[in-house]
Amino acid sequence: MAKIEVLERISDTVWEIPISYKKGMQVPARIYGTEKLIREMDDAVYDQITNVATLPGITKYALCMPDGHFGYGFPIGGVAAMDVENGGVISPGGIGFDINCGMRLVVTNLTYDDVKPYIKQLVDRLYERVPAGVGSKGFVKLSPMEFRKVMEKGARWCVENDYGWEEDLEMTEENGCIKGADASTISEKAIERGFNQIGTLGSGNHYLEIQVAKPENIFDRSLAEKMGITIPNQVVVMFHCGSRGFGHQVATDYLQVFLKVMESKYGIKILDRELACAPFYSPEGQAYFAAMKCGLNMSFANRQVILHRIREVFSEIFGRSPEDMNMRMVYDVAHNTAKLESHIIDGKERSLLVHRKGATRAFAPGMSGIPEKYKSIGQPVIIGGSMETGSYLLAGVPGGAETFFSTAHGSGRTMSRTKARKTWRGEKLQKDLENKGIYVRATSWSGLAEEAGSAYKNIDDVIAAAELAGISKRVVRFTPIGNIKG
C-alpha cells in the first residue's frame, strides 16, 4: 500500500510530496488520482517521482498521472519539464526504452451488426498480416540505408511509398515526422535491430483491437461526432505499439554515454543510475535528442504500415475499398517522448523540454500543434485499457496547463508480469474472453496471461480521476470485440 501519510492533499485528485521529503528535491512532486487510486499505488512510485524532482532544471513539479506505476528511472506515468535555458537536462529514463510507444485510432462506417459475423475471420487475418511478438519481422523489406531514410522521414516515407494516405499525416502528432532526426547519431547495432521491424506490433502490452462505440458510452456527442464517431454501435480499430528493438537500443546506447560523462564532465550527481542524464545543450544531450527523434519517426512509420495492413484486411473481408468504409484516422498520439514546448510558467512563456514517460500529450483548444480539424475542440487523446475492459477517447482541456498539458496513457499495471503468469492460464483466459464476446489471438499463452484485465487498474477509475482533475475530458468509451496480443 502507498504511504499516503507523506502526501499533502491539494484537492480530491491532486496530492503533493513537499521538497522536504528528500534531500536534493528542486520542486515538489505531485501525484494525480482519487484517494482509492493513490492508496493502490506502489511505494516505488513515491521513491521514483521524488528522485525525478532532484534533476537539474526541473520546473514547477515532478508529476505522476493516475495510471502511475513503477518504471525504469521515471515511474510510468511520469512527467517532468526541464528549463533548457537554465541547465535543464535530458534523460532517457524519462522517455522510456520504447521511444514513441503510442496509440492510433481509426474509424469505419461499419456497425457491430456488420462486423460480428466476420470477427473471427478479421482477427485471424490481422493476426497473419500484422506480425506480433518478440523478434517479429515486418513485410516491408528495407536495406539499412533505406531504413535511415525512414528514421528521418517517419510516416511521410510510408505515404510516399503507398503505405497510407496524405490525410493520415495530418492526423498524426508532429504530422508523422518530427524535425531534427539525424540518422548519423544512431549506432549500427540499433539499425540492425530495427530495419526489419516496420509494420510489427511487438510484445508485452502492445495490441491491435477491434472495438465498438456503444451509444450509452458516448459522453459528449458533439465532440464524438467531430472526431468521427457518428453512428450507433460504430466499429473502430485501435492499436498500441512503438519503436520495438530499435528504440530500446537507442536508449541503451545513450544511457551508457550519459553514465560516462554525467558526473566526470558535467558534475551532475543523481540518486538513481536509471536517471542518467546530460545537459540538454551539451554535445551528448543534443546527440541523444536527435537519436530519440529517429525513434519517434520509426514508430510513426511502424504504426502507419500497420494501418495500411488493417485497411487491406478489412477491404478483403468486406469486399469494399477502405475509402468506401471510411477507414479514416481519428489521431495518432505518442506516449514516450521528450519535446521542446512553450509553456506559461508564473506568467511568463518559457521553452521547456517536456518528458512524458507513459503519459500522453493533451493539448487544449486553440493550441498550436493540433490538426486544424480539432483546433476548436482540443487534441484527441487515445487511452488504451486492458483487453477485457475497454478503452477511451478523450479531449485536451485548458486545465491541462497544470500538467504541461499531459494526461494518463492507459490503465496502469497493479501486478507484475511474473505474478500474472502465476495467477492466470492463457488458454482459460482466452476461452473466458470469447464467452464474453471478445475473440483474442496471442503469440503465447504466457504473454496472454500477463495481460489479464485484473493485472491492471480499473480504466474507468483512471479516466474519471483525469477528468475530475481537469486535465482531460471523456468523449467516448470503446468496448473490445476482437484483439491481437503481442
Residue 187 clears pLDDT 70, i.e. is over it: yes
pLDDT at 219: 98
* Distance from C-alpha of 116 to C-alpha of 120, rounded to nearest angstrom: 8
The mean pLDDT of 377-398, rounded to a whole number, is 94
Q: What is the pLDDT of residue 202?
A: 84
Mean predicted confidence (pLDDT) in 199-221: 94
pLDDT at 218 over 90: yes
Q: What CA–CA distance (Å, rounded) separates 194 from 198?
A: 8
Mean pLDDT of 159-185: 98
Give the model confidence (pLDDT) of 448-476 as tens digits.
888 887 888 899 999 999 999 999 999 99
What confidence tens digit (pLDDT) does each residue in 357-374 have? 999 999 999 999 999 999
Least confident interval from 34-48, 152-166, 329-343, 351-365 = 34-48
Instruction: Centre a 10 Å sphere on the Cβ of residue 287 and count the other Cβ atoms it contains.
Output: 18
3-state secondary structure of 42: coil
Task: Say which residue, 362 or 387, is predicted with more confidence.
Answer: 362
Question: For 242-273, how does the pLDDT look when each residue is reduced to its tens digit (9 = 90+)?
Answer: 999 999 999 999 999 999 999 999 999 999 99
- pLDDT of 160 higher than 60: yes
Q: Which among 81, 109, 206, 89 is positioned nearest to 484, based on CA atoms?
A: 206
Dihedral sign from CA coordinates of 29, 35, 37, 39:
positive
- Residue 312, pLDDT > 60, answer yes
Domains of the chain listed by start with CATH number: 4-97+338-370 (no CATH), 102-337+381-485 (3.90.1860.10)
Give how far the C-alpha of residue 194 lies from the chain's centroid of Cα atoms, to the nearest Å.
Answer: 19
Angle at 407 between CA 83 and CA 207, to 5 degrees: 120
Query: Is the predicted pLDDT of residue 353 greater than 80, yes or no?
Result: yes
Reported as a single tens digit per residue, the pLDDT across 269-278 is 999 999 999 9
Confidence of residue 414 (pLDDT cuts 50, 70, 90): confident
pLDDT at 6: 87
Tell me the pTM: 0.96
1 pLDDT more than 80: no
Can 409 be counted among the known catalytic residues?
A: yes
- Among residues 69, 240, 335, 409, the one annotated as catalytic is 409
CA dihedral 356, 251, 186, 152 (to 10 degrees): -20
Q: What is the pLDDT of residue 457?
A: 85
C-alpha cell at 267: 558534475
**What pLDDT does residue 3 have?**
66
Helical H segments across 195-235, by residue range? 221-226
Cβ within 8 Å of residue 110, ≥6 positions away: 234, 235, 318, 325
What 3-state class would DSSP assign to 36? helix
Helical H segments across 390-443, by residue range? 417-423, 426-435
Q: What percent of the chain has pLDDT over 70?
A: 99
**Which pLDDT belongs to residue 236?**
98
Residue 2, pLDDT above cutoff 60? no
Cell of 401: 496547463
DSSP 196: T
